[in-house]
Structure 1
Amino acid sequence: MPTTTTIQRPIKKLLVANRGEIAIRILQSVRELPNSPETYGLYTSNDSTHISLGRPNHAIEIPSPATYMDVSALVQLAKDRGIDAVHPGYGFLSESPEFARQMWEQANCMVIGPESNILETTGDKLEAKTLAAKFDVPVLSAMTSPSQNVDDIGMFANKVGFPIMIKAADGGGGRGIRLVREAAELQTAVQRCIAESPSGKVFAENAAVDGFKHIEIQIIGDGKGGVKHVWERDCSMQRRFQKIVEVAPAVVADRSTVTQVIAAAMRIAQGVHYLGLGTFEFLVNVDKKEFYFLEINPRIQVEHTISESIANVDLVHEQLLLAQGLTDHTADLPTTADANPPSRFSVQLRLCAEDPNAGFSLSTGNITKAKLPSGNGVRVDSHIVRGAVVGSDFDNLLAKIIVTASSWQSVVVKARRALEDTEIFGVKTNLSLLRAIVADREFESGTADNQWLEKNVPRLLELGDKIGEGIQKLNTSLPAVDDSAGQTSGGGAVGGALLRKGNAWSLSLSPVEASEEKAVRNHHVKIEKVLRNDFPDTLSAVVAISTSGAGSQTYKMSLESTDATQAAVNSKHKKGDASNKEHIILPMNGKLVEMLVEEGEEVKEGQVIAFVRQMKMELEVRSPRSGMITWALELEDEEGDDVEQGVLLAVLKDERSSDARMHKL
């Protein structure tokens, strides 16, 4: 039964309300439309590469990153510019019924995607589960309403047993999700999920994890009950419930269960007269022929690329045509669940700016070198170029490497080669992890479940480092690439700026609001010796500084790029000593929101001792071993302290030491 009135009309002016690779992807498809509409793109002062690469007709600078999610500001922008359609890409806006409603009611502007009432039903995880059950789709036992109370979650756990999954009712992108296997983990997990949920409301459901794959179905609905599908994607390669590697179609010997899953997704989409692209997600155990509905993502997904690759279709193009009520180009896509997938496989590898040796925390800086793969069957969606800034305001996705071939074995071999050809300098990345995943036999066999990556991270990182060493050994034996081509070859020359002994600058400093009576301070800065030059990441040198009216003084100068706030850099919190095994040191920048230990408390190896908020997620800091806390950092602000990497969190005395209780910092 239809639940929405479809809005479809020609588009004259289109706003792309997103950034990064997805903004480029949308703008490219718009420019290929018949009678292509005028396009508008958004950017901030330090994040504009997607504008240069996507080439909208009009580029609008917005005051801050927060504007991307400011519904009122975007509605006003649409009204002022006469914009009649908005493509939100993926993320918060794409799933917001309020955004779609306000755009239509206040600006006469449609949002590309499902209508607001469909978003209300499908975007809320509990509502979506109820919807699935109405169409006889298996669902996991779950709470019937969200809660902010740990006791409510505990009562549910006592009823159904562990393990359970705690989820933000309105979460996404891996945020607000925790797997709880025992009661001792419950309170902390609930608190963290609530903190990461936009509404502060969570629910719990039975967990189907061990042996289950994360399978999602790509749906295209015409808004009238007509539904086609682009087969399935296997998104089981996840870390902290964030997808890292995706495969289409799933590598399974028996497709009977997958066919049932596709049929279930189509029943739901047909029943609500779904319009546009949608991803219907399930947990599937192929061996047991068992599956459960998980959620609906009523938008284009980050991993849509692999569905495009196997079906030879432009999904963004189809979105835009459907929004205008035009005949789509998907005539060759199936309308029945049992259609065999094309004789092609595709894999997407997400290259992210994160530090594997610091709990995969965000890594920031300037891209000093970006070498991305190419060749037959290799596609790269990316917004990064040399000099691009990777900061803490946005998602850490640098590039999506998509590899397609006629067989799964060929895809694996091609993916290994593509990652060998990839280099990023300026920030730390998960490249070594990706290399290890595609090199692993269990990944190649297609048997890995949705817990496999989490369980094997230490082993995979070790394997990835070994692979990287072999690649680097070969690279150093080959002729260097000319830096003028946009690559860097080391030696201190980055961005064409070579710093040498003897370089000197005249420097004038004066207050911005200086009165005419105030004299300008003139300085002379000369490099006496370059100690280390990885500028703009780091620079260490001996410099002589002379000031007008005073003599010259020599200093050792050290510069290091940082995304830490001024408050973090100026924090009075002590720095840890990496050589002192008793020091537990913060491995990342961020906001320290909670310390869970106090002086005199005994802790076990792996116990969570603190939480740091970074990119809207709360990351755990765990004790490296068992022992007694003899000193612990105290927060200065109850809302949390801005801190930078290297801050001393606690002093941990070995539990075997007889004088542990006597030790003080």
Structure 2
Amino acid sequence: MVKAVDGGGGRGIRLIEDGDALAGAVRRAIEESPSRQVFAERAAVHGIRHIEVQIIGDGQGHIRHLWERECSIQRRYQKVVEMAPSSIKDRTLIAQVIRAAINYCSLGTFEFLVQPSTKEFYFLEVNPRIQVEHTITESVSSTDLVRIQLLLAQGASLESAGLRRIGQDPESAPPLYSLQLRVTAEDVKRDWSLSIGKVQYFQFPSGNGIRVDTHLVSGHATVVSTDFDSLLAKVVVTAATWEDVVSKARRALEDTRIVGVETNGNILRAIVAHPALTVGDFDTHWLETNQQHLVKLGSEVSAAYAKSSLMSTAYTASSSATSISSPNISTLFRPNDAWSVDLTPLDQTKRNTKANEQDAAPYHLRLTRVLRNAFPTIMAAEITFTSPGSRGPVPYRMELSSTSASSAALASHHRRGDPANPSHVTVPFAGKLVEVLVDEGDFIVAGQTVVVVQQMKMELEVRAGRGGRVSWVIEAEDGEEIREGTLAAIVEEAEVDDIKAKL
């Protein structure tokens, strides 16, 4: 395993199972490291659980743990679902992991990879900060970790910070169970690509044992862009038994809706509906291994929810009221709205003289008819546009749609892939082309990486859906911006024996 020293959030991590992939994997890990530093360690990947221990210390030798969290349900080393305590039933093994944590000042999370069958565990890293999943530790221990961290920074003792009553026998599980579900603006069917746009409507669950942490605020428009992380909300469910947690989580996700961007809601519903979650039968590769089945299951579960007449009525009424009545959610455009537009080049060499600037007339744009308004996600309108020196306004139909692609990517003339054509390897998201890993005439196998594309500082691999002979490859420079739907390669069918002979 090669890791960036300062990657974080799943960035800069590459599993290397084949020596031929070493150079490319190291190169991509370095590109995702701000300091361009990486290190290598033995990979522990089969049947492994991701366990982390919440530690609190005063820097004077006094230290306490707040039990463990499990983050095994993840993809591309990015956590999706977290729980406390761990689903590992062997508390003796868990106690050994907890005791492996060392003296520490303030809050820290010690992360380990644990192999329950062999009772081996490996130290991963220490995160000296509050983590996204701190919510479930707060829920099972009835603490406020942010408050405790601030008190310790002011010199408070562990007891005065409210930790006197917390039990310290790691073989005894905490009194409650908690589960956190990360709701993100990602399109799982398109390889978890970022879904940008405006959140037009949202609804989150409430009730006993339900906590929702989110930056979405009612009455204020929120736009998902490529500038920030895709996390929209954390739905945290807590109960006295694990079975109750899972049951409440299913109901909580039934009450969770976000309109305007694609989310991972369907696959979260599939995860909590799957029996593996209830019995704790999963590891760090479970989600990626079962993703195709989970996507199908999630769609079925969500469709069943939508059939509820009560929920459908409430959803329709709420979304209609939000999208039509609230001017804070959709920017209000009306027929005959007009703007005077002055365009001044930022390039000094292209600017007019001062006299010419004073004499130049502005452009004029007027809305004659609003056809659709879900700005900034989508807008369609009929307009008139008048340029300086023109004889009069020229009518146009204008259509706007948000995109994560750059202007360079949208202006590119690369071929578009056909989703219905099994020979096409299509890039399902916009981004910067990092590397093309195949050439025309190559024989490849299904699942082999064809190109690597960077999006939101993550280098994502686009893989072939089938094996065969590469008959065409995109001609683009490394670092070039490409748009969603760009055709990366064409893979023609070939006999299995031919493929094996050429590999």
TM-score grouping bracket, smaller chain normalisation:
0.7 to 0.9
CA spacing shift, 1:221–1:590, aligned 2, 3 Å: same
Q: How does 1:528-543 map to 2 (within 5 A)?
A: 530=371, 534-540=374-380, 543=382
- Larger strand percent: 2
CA contact (8 A) 1:482 1:488 kept: no
Shift of 1:204: 2.4
Q: How does 1:419-438 map to 2 (within 5 A)?
A: 419-438=253-272
Q: Does 1:516 align with 2:352?
A: no
Give the aligned partner of residue 443 of structure 1: 277
User: Which letter does structure 2 place at the counterpart of 1:318?
Assistant: I
Q: Does 1:207 align with 2:43?
A: yes
Give the aligned partner of residue 99 of structure 1: none
Secondary structure of the 1:309 match is helix
Give the aligned partner of residue 183 of structure 1: 19
In the TM superposition, what whole-angstrom CA distance separates every residue of 1:23-79 from its partner, at most 9, and x where no partner exists?
xxxxxxxxxxxxxxxxxxxxxxxxxxxxxxxxxxxxxxxxxxxxxxxxxxxxxxxxx
Q: Does 1:466 align with 2:466?
A: no
Give the aligned partner of residue 131 of structure 2: 301
CA contact (8 A) 2:111 2:123 kept: yes
Q: How does 1:266-665 map to 2 (within 5 A)?
A: 268-269=102-103, 274-326=104-156, 327-338=160-171, 340-385=172-217, 386-474=220-308, 477-479=312-314, 482-483=317-318, 487-488=322-323, 495=329, 503-512=335-344, 515-527=357-369, 530=371, 534-540=374-380, 543=382, 545=384, 547=386, 550=391, 555-636=396-477, 638=478, 640-655=479-494
User: Which letter does structure 2 place at the counterpart of 1:250?
Assistant: S
CA contact (8 A) 1:213 1:236 kept: yes
Shift of 1:456: 0.8
Shift of 1:608: 0.7
Shift of 1:551: 6.0
User: Which letter does structure 1 place at the counterpart of 2:303?
Assistant: E
CA spacing shift, 1:223–1:488, aligned 2, 3 Å: same
Q: How does 1:141-152 map to 2 (within 5 A)?
A: none
Shift of 1:474: 2.1
Shift of 1:607: 1.4
CA spacing shift, 1:618–1:571, aligned 2, 3 Å: same
CA spacing shift, 1:458–1:178, aligned 2, 3 Å: same
Q: Does 1:236 align with 2:78?
A: no
2: CA distance, partners of 1:306 / 1:357: 28
Secondary structure of the 1:515 match is helix
Instruction: Name the Cα RMSD after superposition.
Output: 2.7
In the TM superposition, what whole-angstrom CA distance separates every residue of 1:596-632 from its partner, at most 9, and x where no partner exists?
2233333322211111111211000112222333332
2: CA distance, partners of 1:618 / 1:493: 38
Question: Once the two structures are aligned, what percentage of the paired residues are identical?
Answer: 48
CA contact (8 A) 2:198 2:375 kept: no
In the TM superposition, what whole-angstrom CA distance separates every residue of 1:343-377 from its partner, at most 9, and x where no partner exists?
21000111111111111012211111121221111
CA spacing shift, 1:252–1:603, aligned 2, 3 Å: closer
User: Which letter does structure 2 place at the counterpart of 1:525?
Assistant: L
Secondary structure of the 1:208 match is coil
Relative to the length of structure 2, the TM-score reads: 0.87
User: Which letter does structure 1 place at the counterpart of 2:230?
Assistant: N
User: Which letter does structure 1 place at the counterpart of 2:384?
Assistant: I
2: CA distance, partners of 1:498 / 1:520: 24
2: CA distance, partners of 1:496 / 1:197: 39
Secondary structure of the 1:200 match is coil
CA spacing shift, 1:602–1:534, aligned 2, 3 Å: farther
User: Which letter does structure 1 place at the counterpart of 2:179?
Assistant: V
2: CA distance, partners of 1:546 / 1:243: 49
CA contact (8 A) 1:595 1:634 kept: no
Give the aligned partner of residue 193 of structure 1: 29
In the TM superposition, what whole-angstrom CA distance separates every residue of 1:207-255 from its partner, at most 9, and x where no partner exists?
2222221111111011011110101111111111111111101123331
1: CA distance, partners of 2:420 / 2:375: 26
In the TM superposition, what whole-angstrom CA distance separates every residue of 1:78-135 from its partner, at most 9, and x where no partner exists?
xxxxxxxxxxxxxxxxxxxxxxxxxxxxxxxxxxxxxxxxxxxxxxxxxxxxxxxxxx
1: CA distance, partners of 2:142 / 2:107: 16
CA contact (8 A) 2:386 2:394 kept: no
Secondary structure of the 1:169 match is strand
CA contact (8 A) 1:610 1:621 kept: yes
Secondary structure of the 2:11 match is coil
CA spacing shift, 1:400–1:204, aligned 2, 3 Å: same
CA contact (8 A) 1:584 1:652 kept: yes
Unaligned runs of 5+ residues in structure 2 are: 346-355, 496-503
CA contact (8 A) 2:201 2:319 kept: no
User: Which letter does structure 2 place at the counterpart of 1:333?
Assistant: I
CA spacing shift, 1:525–1:581, aligned 2, 3 Å: farther
2: CA distance, partners of 1:590 / 1:170: 22
1: CA distance, partners of 2:44 / 2:246: 28
User: Which letter does structure 2 place at the counterpart of 1:334?
Assistant: G
CA spacing shift, 1:477–1:519, aligned 2, 3 Å: closer
Secondary structure of the 1:618 match is strand
CA contact (8 A) 2:330 2:373 kept: no
2: CA distance, partners of 1:372 / 1:238: 23
CA contact (8 A) 1:168 1:176 kept: yes
CA spacing shift, 1:498–1:343, aligned 2, 3 Å: same
Q: How many residues are treated as equivalent by the alignment?
A: 477
2: CA distance, partners of 1:284 / 1:235: 11
Secondary structure of the 1:180 match is coil
Give the aligned partner of residue 80 of structure 1: none
User: Which letter does structure 1 place at the counterpart of 2:491?
Assistant: L
2: CA distance, partners of 1:329 / 1:602: 63
In the TM superposition, what whole-angstrom CA distance separates every residue of 1:559-600 from its partner, at most 9, and x where no partner exists?
211232222223343444445554432211111111122333
2: CA distance, partners of 1:615 / 1:310: 33
CA contact (8 A) 1:600 1:628 kept: yes
CA contact (8 A) 1:544 1:552 kept: no
CA spacing shift, 1:191–1:289, aligned 2, 3 Å: same
Task: Select between 368-377 and 328-337 the one with higher mean Cα deviation.
Answer: 328-337
2: CA distance, partners of 1:483 / 1:384: 16
Give the aligned partner of residue 95 of structure 1: none
CA spacing shift, 1:512–1:232, aligned 2, 3 Å: same
Shift of 1:480: 5.0
